Structure 1
Amino acid sequence: MSLELDRRLAEVGTRFRIFPQPRFLQKADGSGPLFAEPEQVTVSVEPEAMRPGPGDDRMFVIDAIGKLPYNNFFRPPFRGNRRPAVQPGPDGHFDHLDPASREFSAATMYATVRRVLDIWEDYFGRTIQWHFESDFARLELIPLIEWNNAQSGYGFLEFGYGSKPNGTIDHERPFCENFDVLAHELGHSIIFAEVGVPANPRDEAIDYGGMHESAGDLVAIVASLHFHSVVDLLLDSTKGNLLTINGLDRVGELSDSREIRVAFNSRRMSDVGEEPHDRSLPLTGAIFDTMVEVFQQDLVAKKLISEDLRNRSTNLPGTSQDLVEIQAEFTAAYTGNEAAFKDSLLRARDYLGRLLAVTWGTIKPDFLTYHGILRALLAADREITGGENVQLIRACFAWREIAPVPTSLMLRQHTITNCGFSVGRGPTVAGDTAAFDPQIPAPRADGVTSALPRL
């Protein structure tokens, strides 16, 4: 599991530096950048196998010159002019690059995508084969084009820049350095590879679209929790109190990114429509709630918090005084036990990563429903833990109102007569004097005799 991933890669992998969140984010008190320096990460590719670009056998960077965005008529591979490939340092690593340089941006894009793929292949326990493998062996990464947008597509990721208030390109905000955006887009590729796409033309794919956006967010959230700085800041901001309004407010200090913020939401199915991003929120919330419940369950098992505190922080009392009291109790429990809280959160993170990997590896795309995803999650938990968390998962999804739709055939009742059996209140046909007995074959309306099974 991923608690061991970094220890394994540190001995064999290639080093890079990346920012865990955009460098333009400021601390809540305005005293400076939230993440002033990039952090070192190690990807699974050995320095000897790394190619200039950077690149490897799964993906490669092209710093294109004068490139227009891909569209339906202009697709990979890119054959135009490009800047020289970024070279490793004398030791074969890329952690020497100046964060102010264009080369750093190009290397960051590769390192982020490679890192996120490493994390999720670790959870899957196998290689994730690209959904475009029939046409391309490697994912094409284009980091910096003159465009105030970014996109993922069949065989490529290409990123531009954010926008200024007047709508022009903001060159201070390259999307290729935004960990959450890159991870989210790679999440779509993982779902295309592992789940596929609906093939039935009658399928409106409403829940499939919501699942896709939710999966992109969850891929990014779980991956971002592999930065110790992100985990430390989250816990320091909330003291482990992740399910109350206090937690919702404080996580806003952590990041302006969509992926981090959408996890902390209170949306239910009755609150959302059919637009995929909107519809994704209850599913993302239910799955994130599951991770937090597992986290707090471990805190109770370690006697770091009481069962009473856990229950009160999950089932909000609804008064500001209660919330203040809950936060004070979490703060007291967290103080002096920071390492133990962090260990519990990392274990919950890895449980969630494995739970999602097993689930995504089993669900089918046609006529996909959130209720079907819930059942797949329950089956995944039974595979991983023997079913330790099934009741907890059910509760998180019930609160989000994720259940079979009212018109689902799953909710149809089947009486004995619906099933073609006679209930035998007297003779069923002329001359038949047999009383109803589940062991006696009963004539059906079509004249066929069928034994009624025991109920």
Structure 2
Amino acid sequence: MSVELDRRLAESGTKFRIFPQPRFLTKEGTDEPLFAEPEVVVLSVEPAAMQPGPADDRMFVVDAIGKQPYNSFFRPPFRGSARPPVRPAENGHFDHLDPDSREFKAATMYATVRRVLDIWEDYFGRTIQWHFESDFARLELIPLIEWDNAQSGYGFLEFGFGRKENGTIDHDRPFCENFDVLAHELGHSIIFAEVGVPASPFDEGVDYGGMHESAGDLVAIVASLHFHSLVDQLLDSTKGNLLTVNGLDRVGELSNSREIRVALNSRRMSDVSDQPHERSLPLTGAIFDTMVEVFQQDLVDRKLITEDLRNRSTHLPGNEADLRQIQGEFATAYAGNESAFKESLLMARDYLGRLLAITYSSISADFLTYHGMLRAILDADRELTMGAHAQIIRECFAWREIAPVPTSMLVRQHTIMNCGFTTLQGPAPTGEAQRDYMIPAPRSNGARLTVRP
């Protein structure tokens, strides 16, 4: 969501509260919560259009009682017993709910999904129609079922709880409060709606599966950057040196030490298998690196850091003393320029959101490849910036070894003889005779055509 739209919504939308990251996460080396209080967010739906649930014309919450997870034989809509719908305060907003209440959990699930949808519809510049619209008008949200898992499916999102180390359900860690997990699952719905699915039974969809998981992570990363508290903490802790392990690069954190996947990773295509989650890592890494390098290039353009510092931080030398030197230089540059650094990061965030929206709108699910995605991303950059970031994109993807496979027709060489041309013997003629020097080989009917330069 662009900065400008966020400002407009502040005057007309409905207020909710969301924790930027799970409330059980603590600051490094302490027991102090990373985010002690939820942050107020404003949704695009006006208070007058909100319905109890919460609900609107695109989605609704059902706090089901005694529900089992949906499966192949048990699908939406849910017709069982449910708790009363959550209602707004007299002013029409939902930001009054106690964070420890069950009502808050239902409301925050709705607010998270609606917020992420608002963000990405703004980047796409249009409404994202549900991929299940032929059967359901609205997305069904089930916030709390007795299950140590969560899932998205055809017309629904339903969430249970985290899992303890011993494998039992952890009721203190409901997935419906985990912004990253919810955003990731909605990301799958966005891809189904915008990219579709492979149509051919001969398409194994290896890169398609990796792209799907990568998209879920990227949808979450970009959306999380819309929390001002998270952005401020991110910059304060890194001083703008984002090519370090930080809170932004960890998607779907389950505890202080466990996360579903890491966006800031060193995986290349030669390091991963065909398993979708593992295969997603090089693609996510390449795109995440692109955003960081666009951010740092803007810092250089605004003379907030030097080109030399940018280059050294990008290439990340392994020497510990060098890394400390780089971090120290970022700290010096950041001091007194905090607002300018934040402006650059939000610019890079919006650039990446629009870049991905254009890319996802243009690619086909059929026989999709990462190299095809790279070309679509370069096309998107040309549309957005006239190719200003093309070299950054190429370098980030090249490092991840994302290129045409050796057997691809794209890298096939064509000699003149492969193309059916032959050359006459003897020295090249000059003048008028030069026109007839190179001619195609005879066709099957014996006819010969002359190539005119």
TM-score (norm 1): 0.94
1:166 Cα deviation after fit: 2.4
Cα deviation 1:181-224 (Å, max 9, x = unaligned): 00000000000000000011111100000000000000000000
Rounded to whole Å, the distance in 2 between the matches of 1:44 and 1:221 is 20
> Would the alpha carbon gap of residues 77 and 419 (structure 1) be closer, same or farther in structure 2, given more than 3 Å must change?
same
- Matched residue, 2:111: 111
User: 2: CA distance between counterparts of 1:108 and 1:153?
Assistant: 20
Q: Is the 8 A contact 2:423 2:438 kept in 1?
A: no
Is 1:133 the counterpart of 2:133? The answer is yes
Could you tell which deviates more after superposition, 189-198 or 231-240? 231-240
Q: CA RMSD in A?
A: 2.0
The residue type equivalent to 1:128 in the other structure is I
SS across alignment from 2:345: helix
Q: Distance in 2 between matches of 1:89 and 1:231?
A: 29
Q: Give me the whole-angstrom Cα distance separating, in 2, the residues matched to 1:390 and 1:253.
A: 26
C-alpha contact 1:263 1:288 (8 A) present in aligned 2: yes
Letter in 1 for 2:404: P
Rounded to whole Å, the distance in 1 between the matches of 2:162 and 2:182 is 14
Q: How far apart are 1:253 and its partner, in Å?
A: 9.5
SS of 1:202's equivalent in the other structure is coil
Match of 2:442 in 1: 444
Q: Could you tell me which amino acid in structure 1 is paired with residue 140 of structure 2?
A: E
Give, in angstroms, the shift of residue 168 of structure 1: 1.8
Q: What stretches of structure 1 of length at least 5 have no aligned partner?
A: 428-433
**In structure 2, how many angstroms separate the alpha carbons of the residues matched to 1:453 and 1:129?**
53
User: Which letter does structure 1 place at the counterpart of 2:10?
Assistant: A
Deviations 1:9-44 (A, max 9, x none): 111110001101000101112141111001100100
Q: In the alignment, which residue of structure 2 is the partner of 1:430? A: none
Question: CA, structure 1 residues 278+438, in 2 after alignment: closer, same or farther (shift >3 Å)?
Answer: farther
Query: Does 1:45 find its partner at 2:45?
Result: yes
Distance in 2 between residues matched to 1:388 and 1:284, nearest whole Å = 21
Q: Does 1:248 align with 2:249?
A: no
Given the superposition, is the C-alpha separation of residues 65 and 251 from structure 1 closer, same or farther in structure 2, using an over 3 Å criterion? closer
Task: Give the secondary-structure state (helix, strand or coil) at the position aligned to 1:170.
Answer: strand
DSSP 3-state at the match of 2:40: strand
Q: Which shifted more, 87-96 or 437-446? A: 437-446
User: Which moved further from structure 2: 436-445 or 179-188?
Assistant: 436-445
Match of 2:375 in 1: 375
Q: Which amino acid aligns with 2:344?
A: S
The 10-residue stretch of structure 1 (193-202 or 413-422) with the greater mean CA deviation from structure 2:
413-422
* TM-score of the pair, normalised by structure 2: 0.94
Counting matched residue pairs gives: 445
Equivalent position amino acid for 2:321 in 1: Q
Once the two structures are TM-superposed, the CA of residue 325 in structure 1 deviates from its matched residue by 1.0
Kindly tell me: are residues 443 and 406 of structure 1, through their superposed partners in 2, closer, same or farther at Cα, counting changes over 3 Å? Answer: closer
- For 1:198 and 1:7, locate their aligned partners in 2 and report how far apart those are by CA, in whole Å: 39
SS in 2 for 1:279: helix
Q: Take 1:422 and 1:364, find their aligned partners in 2: how far apart are those partners?
A: 39
What pairs with 1:49-448 in structure 2 (closer than 5 Å)? 49-243=49-243, 247-248=244-245, 256=253, 262-425=262-425, 437=435, 441-446=439-444, 447-448=446-447
Contact kept, 8 Å, 2:183 with 2:216, in 1: the verdict is: yes
Structure 2: 5+ residue stretches without partners: none
* Stretch moving more, 390-399 or 183-192: 390-399
- Distance (Å, rounded) in 2 between the aligned partners of 1:390 and 1:282: 18
Q: For 2:362, what is the secondary structure of its paired residue? A: coil
**Aligned pair in 2 of structure 1 residues 253, 283: CA closer, same or farther (>3 Å)?**
closer
Structure 2 residue identity aligned to 1:356? L
Range with bigger deviation, 84-93 or 29-38: 29-38
Preserved CA contact (<8 Å) 1:218 1:259: no
Structure 1 residues 18 and 443: CA distance shift in structure 2, 3 A:
closer
Determine if contact 1:425/1:435 at 8 Å carries over to the other structure: no
Residues 60 and 141, structure 1, Cα contact 8 Å, conserved in 2: yes
* Structure 2 SS opposite 1:190: helix
User: Quick check: 1:296–1:310 contact (8 Å CA) kept in 2?
Assistant: yes
| Alignment CA distance shift 1:9-1:421 (3 Å) | same
CA distance 1:395–1:451, shift in 2 (3 Å)? farther
Shift of 1:254: 10
